[in-house]
Amino acid sequence: MKNIFKILRKYTIEIIFIILCVIIQAYCDLELPSYTSKIINIGIGQSGIEYAVPYKIRESEFDFLLNTLSDDKKEYVLKQYELYNNIYVLKHKEKNTLEELDNIILSQIVVKYLNLDVNIIESSDSDSLLRQSAIEYIKNEYKEVNLDIKDLQISYIKEIGIKMIYISLIAFFITVSTNFLISKVSSYFGHDLRKKIIEKIMSYSSKEYNEIGVSSLITRCTNDVQQIQMFLTMFLRIVIFAPIIGIGALTKVSKSSMSYIIAIALFLILTLVVVLLVVVLPKFNLVQKKVDKINLISREMLKGMPVVRAFSNEKFEENRFNLANNELKKVNLFVNRTMSIMMPTMTFIMNAVSILIVWVGASKVDAGNIQVGTLIAFITYTMQIIMSFLMLSMVSIVLPRALISFKRIKEVLLKDSCVIDENNNIKLKENEDILEFKEVYFRYPDASEDILSNISFKCKKGTTTAFIGSTGSGKSTLINLIPRFFDITSGKILLNGVSTKDIPLKKLRDKIGYVPQKAHLFSGTIEENIKFGNEKLSKKEIDEVLKVSMSYDFVKKLPNKLKTHVSEGAANLSGGQRQRLSIARAIAKKPLIYIFDDSFSALDYETDKNLRKNLKKYTKDSTLLIVAQRVNTILNADQIIVFDEGKIVGIGTHEELYKTSLIYKEIVLSQLGEEELKNA
């Protein structure tokens, strides 16, 4: 997926370095068994004599070997030796020279030592037996020329041992560096992916939130990202390393007569992995859905705890949670029990293969076809091959969940908001008619009929427009169309003569101070909440907006005043205090349009009256839009718009509507008596 690979592209250098480190680490791990084999076969078994090439040899013996060679080979061998006191001494001990001489001299030594015919030697398939015979001859020759075999043996073992130590140290530092880099890349990748998801979620309209669900979005930002992060860690650590080890070890033993044992083991392992994945894979998608459900129920239960307690419904909520919890447990149990078969079965295959190799190999050692060190190296390489498949099978446990998580995150990143943000460089000019609705129709996505029909009105600068109507008449829906939480179905909404669809969302929403129906404050201090829309607010300006919103007195009485911490969901504040601070946050922004969506409902009449009076003075150059249920809140509005079933059924002042609108009059009389109406 493009977005995810774009994130990984940032760490290209680190990933390349990790791959190089993994290759070096694999090379080191593959070399160690061959060195172990050399110590056993050559260092111990052959007394440190690696090649069938004598470093020193008596003149008589040397002449015998030369007599059996062709003229060109005889000339080459003579060039490599010098004669000192009836003893020929090898001049050069480079690997290439030793290997070339070994090919020439080996068979000739065996002829001398075992009295065998050259044709028999060349047809023999037991190179190991012939080489050991040649080494025995060289040992005897060294005794004759007084060369200390023990020193030769110790010297060889030390040389190989030091090489093994160097390789082990390189592997150690490479492994530490690799793990450090892998941890860094996977952590930063998780951080960037979560950031990308949040950025995408922030661009969603209400439609996309409702389609995916808040609880599912939380799971996708946390659990799903964690699954992909875990897979990335395993991919960089195992998926690259395991094939290199497996293929490398397979190359080392492919020419062995026992390689068929490895083929049997690999067939059994692959069969096991495929069967398990076919059984378990469909369940991983179910696991993530069950996690979403647990998340949803937990959020509802914790947020609605006061309601649960008030209705004494704790047992019902516990049972609801337990039911979802048990469903998740059952799916997880099935997955974990099925996948738990893998490790014991793999271990059994490994042990069975080891026994089979020892059983077959022992007879070959006894027959002299292979040496003990070679058998040990073969077992080690076989275990490396099986372990590489074992590591890949561990990835196969994580991979299905990562793929499901990948698809869920992909769904979030590829889902575009139905509210299209235009990046036009539009300058909004001063206009007397700040806001205008022109024949606006709106229906919710997938709805069969319009919620709002033929809505037309204007809001002038410095005026207050109020919306009133029965519950569900479309007042809040209309308000939500102004900041484009949804887009209208048809018609136009104009801001200073420009369609809101042509204005970039940030510029549009910067012009709006919004107080939602349900006052929401963020965890943090009161000062941080007020500065949410205007970070440059001074101390004097904060005090001013607190006074306007009637919050100054209660904030100053708090022990830490503006530094008082607001708990999660503002549970440490009353409903009225939350509403007043939400209003303070909106007016601190100093916008062009103020939207109050039933934002005075938790205030007493006196506070409501004084707050609206303060707002009238403070917002004289702006436009106020007020959605209200209480008639008292809107009596003095410059324009009152009455809603009924998504349509405007009356526009005018209080006096005008009281005389002309039956619906408005019924609302007024249901809340205020004749006496209260006169005094209002």
Domain boundaries, the chain: 2-32+158-414, 56-146, 433-679
CATH number for the segment(s) 2-32+158-414: 1.20.1560.10
Band (173; pLDDT cuts 50, 70, 90): very high
Over residues 587-615, the mean pLDDT reads 82
**Listing from the earlier edge strand, what are the strands of the sheet with 464-469?**
512-515, 593-597, 623-627, 464-469, 639-644, 647-652
Band (46; pLDDT cuts 50, 70, 90): confident
Over residues 374-395, the mean pLDDT reads 80
Q: Tell me the C-alpha to C-alpha distance, in Å, between residue 575 and each of 106, 467, 472, 578, 661.
A: 98, 22, 23, 5, 33
Range of 88-97, 164-173, 298-307 with top mean pLDDT: 164-173
pLDDT in tens, 94-140: 888 888 887 877 767 766 655 555 444 444 445 566 777 778 888 88
Over residues 66-93, the mean pLDDT reads 82
Band (391; pLDDT cuts 50, 70, 90): confident
Radius of gyration over alpha carbons of the chain, in Å? 42
Helix (H) or strand (E) holding 84: strand 81-84
φ/ψ of 49, rounded to 5, equals -95, 110
**CA-to-CA distance for 509 and 504, rounded, in angstroms?**
9
pLDDT for the residue 255: 73
Domain 433-679, architecture per CATH? 3-Layer(aba) Sandwich (3.40)
**CA-to-CA distance for 610 and 636, rounded, in angstroms?**
13
| Closest C-alpha to 596, from 625, 636, 559, 567 | 625
Give percent of the chain above pLDDT 70.
93
Contact 596, 629 (CB under 8 A): no
pLDDT for the residue 84: 84
pLDDT in tens, 214-270: 777 888 888 888 888 888 888 888 888 888 888 888 888 777 777 788 888 888 888
Over residues 302-327, the mean pLDDT reads 81
Tokens read off for 86: 């009836």
Tokens read off for 109: 């030594």
**Beta strand extents in 443-545 (DSSP E only):** 452-460, 464-469, 490-495, 498-499, 512-515, 524-525
Position 165 pLDDT exceeds 90: yes
Position 30 pLDDT exceeds 80: yes
Contact 589, 425 (CB under 8 A): no
Q: Give the CA angle between residues 96, 101, 103 to the nearest 5°.
A: 100
Position 1 pLDDT exceeds 70: no
pLDDT for the residue 38: 85
Residues pairing with 594 in the sheet: 513, 624
pLDDT for the residue 533: 76
Band (678; pLDDT cuts 50, 70, 90): low
- Classify 296 as helix, strand or coil: helix
- Residue 600 DSSP one-character state: T
Mean pLDDT of the chain: 81
**CA-to-CA distance for 648 and 362, rounded, in angstroms?**
97
Q: Number of helices (H) and strands (E) in the chain: give both, helices first.
A: 28, 15
pLDDT for the residue 423: 67
Give percent of the chain above pLDDT 90.
2
Position 616 pLDDT exceeds 70: yes
pLDDT for the residue 123: 43
- Classify 259 as helix, strand or coil: helix
- What b/e string do you get for 580-603 counting C-beta neighbours within 10 Å, with b at 16 or more? bbbbbbbbbbbbbbbbbbbbbbbb
pLDDT for the residue 120: 45
pLDDT for the residue 675: 56
pLDDT in tens, 556-566: 888 888 888 88
Instruction: Count Cα atoms within 13 angstroms, Cβ side, for 24.
Output: 19
Over residues 449-453, the mean pLDDT reads 86
Contact 400, 281 (CB under 8 A): yes
Over residues 531-546, the mean pLDDT reads 83
pLDDT for the residue 397: 72
